[in-house]
């Protein structure tokens, strides 16, 4: 059992999954053993660029063992994989549905990482 991370729109359990990983306003860190939930502010959300990288660093630092996300850029994926954290593709935008699916082993790994949005403060 472990901690899993999910990008979410708000810092309450009624919230839904965020469509973006790097720019999600918050991360939900859910402990599947104790069922405790904690919310992390994602400082990368307001980053000029390289948001995926910074967000990934935050997830790694939270000691999550898995990331559940609808999408993930390739740089963020690089960071997450370097930390040996598995990335799973979410099935819908419901937190409860995805946590249940994860616990039942029904989620598939996210294989289609997209090239970085190149949204860094570049010229």
**Region 8-27 residues binding other proteins, contact defined as CB under 8 A:** 19-20, 23
Q: Give the start-end residues of each E strand in 1-123.
A: 3-8, 26-31, 37-41, 66-69, 86-89
Residue 3 near other proteins by CB under 8 A: no
- SS3 at position 89: strand
- Which residue from 96, 64, 63, 76 is spatially nearest to 23, judged by alpha carbons? 76
104 φ/ψ angles, rounded to the nearest 5 degrees: -85, 5
> How far apart are alpha carbons 22 and 20 in whole angstroms?
6
Residue 105 near other proteins by CB under 8 A: no
At its nearest, how many Å lie between other proteins and the CB of residue 73?
8
At its nearest, how many Å lie between other proteins and the CB of residue 36?
25
Half-sphere exposure at residue 87, Cβ-oriented, CA atoms within 13 angstroms? 23
Minimum CB distance to other proteins smaller for 20 or for 90: 20
At its nearest, how many Å lie between other proteins and the CB of residue 123?
4
**Region 22-81 residues binding other proteins, contact defined as CB under 8 A:** 23, 44, 47-51, 53-54, 56-57, 60, 75, 78-79
Minimum CB distance to other proteins smaller for 7 or for 50: 50
CB 95 within 8 A of CB 29: no
| Interaction site with other proteins (CB under 8 A) | 19-20, 23, 44, 47-51, 53-54, 56-57, 60, 75, 78-79, 82-84, 114-123
């Amino acid at each position: 059992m472990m901690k899993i991370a999910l990008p979410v729109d708000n810092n309450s359990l009624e919230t839904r999954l965020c469509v973006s990983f790097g720019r999600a306003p918050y991360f939900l860190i859910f402990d599947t053993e104790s069922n405790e939930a904690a919310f992390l502010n994602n400082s990368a959300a307001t980053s000029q660029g390289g948001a995926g990288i910074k967000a990934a660093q935050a997830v790694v630092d939270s000691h999550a063992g898995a990331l559940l996300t609808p999408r993930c850029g390739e740089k963020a994926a690089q960071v997450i994989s370097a930390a040996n954290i598995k990335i799973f593709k979410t099935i819908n935008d419901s937190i409860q549905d995805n946590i249940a699916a994860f616990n039942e082993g029904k989620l598939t790994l996210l294989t289609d990482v997209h090239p970085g949005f190149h949204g860094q403060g570049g010229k």
